[in-house]
Amino acid sequence: MRDTMELPPGLPPVGLDAASRRALSGWLLLAVGSLAVAGALALLLALSRTPVVQDWLPWRWETFFRKALVAHVIFAFVVWYMAVLGGLAAATRPGGVASLIGLTLSTAGAVLLLVPTLTNQGQASLNNYLPVLVHPLFYGGLALLALGVALPVLYLLLRPPVWGGSLAMGVGSAGVLYLLALLCFGLAWFGLPKDAPLDTYNEEIFWGGGHILQFVHSALMLTAWQVLGEQAFGQSPLPARAWRFVCLLLVVAGLPGPLLYAVYKVTGDDLRRAFTQLYWIGLPLPLLIGSAAALRSILRGPRDWRSPAFLGLALSVALCTLGGVLGMFATGGDVRTPAHYHAAIGAVNLAFMGLFFVVLLPVVLRAGETSPLVRLQFWLYGGGQTLFSLGMFIAGSAGVARKVAGEAQGLDSTVKIVGMALTGIGATVAVTGGMLFVWLALSRLVARGMR
């Protein structure tokens, strides 16, 4: 068995033995399965707000809605992103039992997260980054998920493969940042008074580590750009030395996170401001360098719009750039802020979709694929997220507030109505693209498991 995946330009990666491919298949199933669960919860959310139909549900919709919303966010972003990290770590450093044990723990954690949701138990806490249900099983599920992902990450860092490749360096950097985020969660938990108000308690626990997780997501997206560029152009957007520098920048930017808990009180506003400043100071430069390099490669070509590698890279870079521009106008009080972060989230998802069909699924299935449906999913999701973000930005510029619905939105002008209409159309298109991705990936993974 080889120590690391090889990524010959333009060819499916090779180098994993049968046992390592089975472990990777499990991580991919957990990742895509979490999106399927998030989609099912989104349907329940819609039904719980539909007159007459809401009375058919086995739960009281008034109490179930916020719980389903929390679980939807956790599965759509936290479980999905973390399972991708665990899978990439397991693929970059195959072998050992760390991946299988980690997969088992993470899967058990995901199941535990669903139990209080579907039994309508616990209290919803809609705090930033990681909303939670205040219930022992939900907290236990998060802990098992965190530990499960940490195992293949630690195995990768303690027994590193050849660090020259873009994938190994990028996933290793994301792994270090992930462990820093977990350390921040732990320090916040130990530093909080146990009699703190419920919303304050959860907000403070997840605030600092949540910021560091954004560095993790950025590192994974930039890593995907490097790998997709290698496949699309025969060489990565950033040369090896520049890529190592970007990875170093990300890790150095995240290192002060745990130290902030030694300087500021967990419950103080100073700590909140410090993490916000760390985010705004440490994250833009690596993203600017990576975006500029990727854009240069795209403009230089060759531009093969039939290639999933090129499509995933080009649309992800475009949406990330849009999110950066929209973020310059975000004030926090209106829907221009979610316009910014939905574009950023969309960029990460597009990069992951590219990795799935260009790198990860070919490893498991031993074959690549460029069918029209694979290409269509990128256009639907990328185009839908673009319309969604632009619609929110237009509506927010006219004064539509965040976290409100119905009459509270105050849609009393043409601009507001047009903006929110674009938001709805974009959401529908993006969800269609996401559903297509889930179906294409799951059908192939399940078919592979049945063989």
Predicted confidence at residue 40, as pLDDT, reads 86
Q: Which residue has the higher pLDDT, 412 or 429?
A: 429
Handedness of CA 209, 210, 215, 216 (dihedral sign): positive
Q: Which residue has the higher pLDDT, 408 or 274?
A: 274
Averaged over 357-383, what is the pLDDT?
84
- What does the alpha-carbon distance between residue 408 and residue 388 come to, in Å, rounded to a whole number? 20
Of all residues in the chain, the percent with pLDDT exceeding 90 is 51
Predicted confidence at residue 3, as pLDDT, reads 40
Predicted confidence at residue 328, as pLDDT, reads 82
Confidence band for 367, pLDDT divided at 50, 70 and 90: low
Secondary structure E strands in 166-205: none
Predicted confidence at residue 448, as pLDDT, reads 66
In tens, the pLDDT along 328-357 reads 877 767 778 888 888 999 999 999 999 999
Q: Which two tokens stand for residue 271?
A: 């700590």
Nearest to 359 by CA among 168, 1, 34, 88: 88
Predicted confidence at residue 6, as pLDDT, reads 47
- Residue 97 scores a pLDDT above 70: yes
DSSP summary character for residue 14 = B
Confidence band for 60, pLDDT divided at 50, 70 and 90: low
- Residue 385 scores a pLDDT above 50: yes
Q: Which residues pair with 134 in a beta bridge?
A: 123
Determine the distance from the C-alpha atom of residue 95 to the mean position of all C-alpha atoms in its chain, rounded to a whole number: 25
Predicted confidence at residue 1, as pLDDT, reads 36
Predicted confidence at residue 33, as pLDDT, reads 95
Least confident among 59-63, 115-119, 123-127, 257-261:
59-63
Confidence band for 78, pLDDT divided at 50, 70 and 90: very high
Confidence band for 407, pLDDT divided at 50, 70 and 90: low
Predicted confidence at residue 340, as pLDDT, reads 85
Predicted confidence at residue 7, as pLDDT, reads 46
- What does the alpha-carbon distance between residue 280 and residue 256 come to, in Å, rounded to a whole number? 13
Q: Which residue has the higher pLDDT, 403 or 242?
A: 242
Determine the distance from the C-alpha atom of residue 124 to the mean position of all C-alpha atoms in its chain, rounded to a whole number: 21
- Residue 92 scores a pLDDT above 80: yes
Confidence band for 57, pLDDT divided at 50, 70 and 90: low
Predicted confidence at residue 262, as pLDDT, reads 92
Averaged over 260-279, what is the pLDDT?
91
In tens, the pLDDT along 140-158 reads 999 999 999 999 999 999 9
Residues 6+ apart with CB under 8 A from 367: 12
- Residue 296 scores a pLDDT above 80: yes
Predicted confidence at residue 39, as pLDDT, reads 86
Decide: 271 and 264 in contact? Cβ < 8 Å. yes
- Residue 251 scores a pLDDT above 90: yes
- What does the alpha-carbon distance between residue 251 and residue 64 come to, in Å, rounded to a whole number? 40
Predicted confidence at residue 299, as pLDDT, reads 92
Averaged over 305-315, what is the pLDDT?
92
| Highest-confidence segment of 84-98, 214-228, 336-350 | 214-228
Helix (H) or strand (E) holding 247: helix 240-254
Predicted confidence at residue 368, as pLDDT, reads 59
- Name residue 193's amino acid: P
CA separation, residue 341 to residues 4, 126, 153, 226, 328 (Å): 34, 17, 26, 22, 11
Averaged over 383-411, what is the pLDDT?
76
| Highest-confidence segment of 339-343, 368-372, 413-417 | 339-343
Decide: 133 and 124 in contact? Cβ < 8 Å. yes
Nearest to 437 by CA among 344, 346, 357: 357
Ramachandran category for residue 108: left, alpha or beta (phi over 0 → left; psi -120 to 50 → alpha) = alpha
- What does the alpha-carbon distance between residue 296 and residue 206 come to, in Å, rounded to a whole number? 37
Predicted confidence at residue 363, as pLDDT, reads 81
- Residue 127 scores a pLDDT above 80: yes
- What does the alpha-carbon distance between residue 330 and residue 333 come to, in Å, rounded to a whole number? 8
- What does the alpha-carbon distance between residue 223 and residue 89 come to, in Å, rounded to a whole number? 12
